[in-house]
Amino acid sequence: MPYAAEGRISREPIEGGLEVTEEQYAQGLAGMLKGQVVSIQGGFSVAPVPAPAPEPDPTPDQQLARRLITNNIEYERATLAVTAGYPQLEKDTWPTQDKESKAWLADPDNALTPWIDRAALTRGIDRVEYLRRTLAKAQQFEMVSSYLTGTRQKYEDQIKAGADPVLDYTIPGNLYAEMQAQALLIMTTNAAELQELL
């Protein structure tokens, strides 16, 4: 004897199910193959899957929270893109590189830079060039991170004031030009003058 329960049919007894006729079993099987659902509420029936109830419109507080979350997600995406080409182990060395390059800038003749010394030797480039490159990248990162952070905060202010701004975290061309000019300055200016500039 066949049986049916909510969303199921079987040739074996189903706990909480009902006995059904062979014809009902066949209807249930055919309906399930078409994506329909078997129900025993109010008697055996086979019907299309009910459409989900429409979600209520979000409240103003929910809209505000969603916009703030979306803004933060877009900011995270933009900041991750800045460092996406670097493996995590190398990123973990950035504080050391920054510390050593700034020590060299403060005292070019006496600064101890063991991490950069080894990396430069292994890479096959001059130590001072490596230090300058490190300074240039750190300056560029500060420029782009301050731009992105300011952009996030600007959008947050607008959202909290009731606006729904179009979020755009694209780095503008003039900032790229400024970053390149800063790198050129660091690579070509003597250490004493760099102390005054940075």
pLDDT of residue 183: 93
pLDDT of residue 154: 98
Task: Please state the three-class secondary structure of the chain as a single string.
Answer: CCEEECCEEECCCCCCCEECCHHHHHHHHHHHHCCEEEECCCCCEEEECCCCCCCCCCCHHHHHHHHHHHHHHHHHHHHHHHCCCCCHHHHHCHHHHHHHHHHHHHCCCCCCCHHHHHHHHHHCCCHHHHHHHHHHHHHHHHHHHHHHHHHHHHHHHHHHCCCCCCCCCCCCHHHHHHHHHHHHHHHHCCHHHHHHHC
pTM: 0.70
Mean pLDDT by 10 residues, the chain (198 residues): 87 86 86 87 86 88 95 96 93 96 93 97 96 95 96 98 96 96 92 79
pLDDT of residue 50: 80
Token output for 87? 């493996």
